[in-house]
Amino acid sequence: MLLMKRCLFLLGFIVAAVCSSLSAQTVLSILQENTGKTVELHLQAGDKIEGKVEQVNENVVHLSHLTGAEFFDAFVNVNDISAVVIRTGGK
């Protein structure tokens, strides 16, 4: 019984790790496709940050021209991003 619980716990941990990895890869792909555009990043801590995507690598997104702080840049850990909001058109 104890062995079964340990196996289930390990399986759950592996599934969570794979899902978070896929999620980070999806976020990376979205950001790379929108380099040069303005995006709003929703962070897992509940904060939001908006700016122009300058550069994306495996771990960090570089935003420039931050909304409300245009003379500042931000470097955001990709693993801290829970959502990416992109304006697609409209008025």
Tell me, what amino acid is at 15? Answer: V
| For residue 41, pLDDT beyond 90 | yes
pLDDT 10s digits, 6-38: 666 666 656 555 555 547 778 889 999 999 999
CATH number, span 2-86? 2.30.30.100
pTM of the model: 0.72
Tell me, what amino acid is at 63? Answer: L
Question: What pLDDT score was predicted for residue 42?
Answer: 92
Question: What pLDDT score was predicted for residue 57?
Answer: 93
Q: Please report, to the nearest 10 degrees, the dihedral formed by the alpha carbons of residues 20, 26, 29, 32 taken in order.
A: -70
